[in-house]
Amino acid sequence: MDNESISIRDVRIEELDEISLLLKEAYQQYEKLLPGDTWHRYVEDITNVRSRLDESQLIVAEVNRQLVGAVTLYLNARRSEREGWPRGWAVIRLLAVRPSCRNRGIGHALVEECLRRCREEGIATVGLHTTEMMDVAQRMYEKMGFTRVPEFDFYPRPDVVVMAYRLDLITSIGNCSLENLQRGIVTK
């Protein structure tokens, strides 16, 4: 990043309005792909950062003391279950990088921080949703090892698929496979 270092940290309360604007700016490119009413509801939802603070961690990226990115991490199993994910999965949502700061590794750094926090908490699996229109993010997730799990896809409209991805952070413990751990089967 041309001698500019990326600083990753939790959001400060006084930055919430700026993060709302950053989210709107980052997702603005998708406006033309969504019908007017759908777009307005979507923007209203994603920019309402205060509503998510009680059950999530809002992580920001900063370069030269400027906020350039954000991501929401849910470590809370209740939230993941409410969104249709399996019990105990962490969920990454709303990765956003200011358009003028893209292709500098900021999104990657934010996701890596989410994964670090999940490992620290002993969370075995992380899920996220993305869409075809978010092709750059989709490619990044795949390069990071996320794999498709179509059984967790959903369709907000008949012509739009919101694609589910997962990343297994713990593949085995002793003789226990991740699959058996998720089923509650422990072998000796």
> What string of pLDDT tens digits covers the 188 residues of the chain?
455 799 999 999 999 999 999 999 998 888 777 777 878 888 888 889 998 888 999 999 999 999 999 999 999 766 666 778 898 899 999 999 999 999 999 999 999 999 999 999 999 999 999 988 888 999 999 999 999 999 999 887 787 788 999 999 986 455 455 555 555 544 44
Scanning the chain, the segments in alpha helix (DSSP H) are 16-27, 36-46, 77-82, 106-120, 135-143, 178-183
Whether the CB-CB separation of 1 and 104 falls below 8 Å is answered with yes
- In terms of C-beta density within 10 A (0-12 exposed, 13-18 middle, 19 or more buried), how is residue 122 classed? exposed
In this prediction, residue 35 carries a pLDDT of 73
In this prediction, residue 139 carries a pLDDT of 95
**Residue 11 located in a structural domain:** yes
**Residue 1 located in a structural domain:** no
**Residue 67 located in a structural domain:** yes
**Residue 188 located in a structural domain:** no
Residue 157 pairs with which residues in a beta bridge?
A: 160
Distance CA 188, CA 45 (A): 47
**Residue 124 located in a structural domain:** yes
**Residue 175 located in a structural domain:** yes
Q: What is the CATH number of the domain that holds 26?
A: 3.40.630.30
**Residue 103 located in a structural domain:** yes
Distance CA 114, CA 120 (A): 10
Among left, alpha and beta (phi > 0; psi -120 to 50; other), residue 103 is left
In this prediction, residue 188 carries a pLDDT of 41
Count of structural domains within the chain? 1
Beta strands, E only, 118-171: 125-131, 147-148, 154-157, 160-168
Whether the CB-CB separation of 114 and 88 falls below 8 Å is answered with no
In this prediction, residue 89 carries a pLDDT of 93
Q: What residues make up the domain containing 129?
A: 6-183
**Residue 89 located in a structural domain:** yes
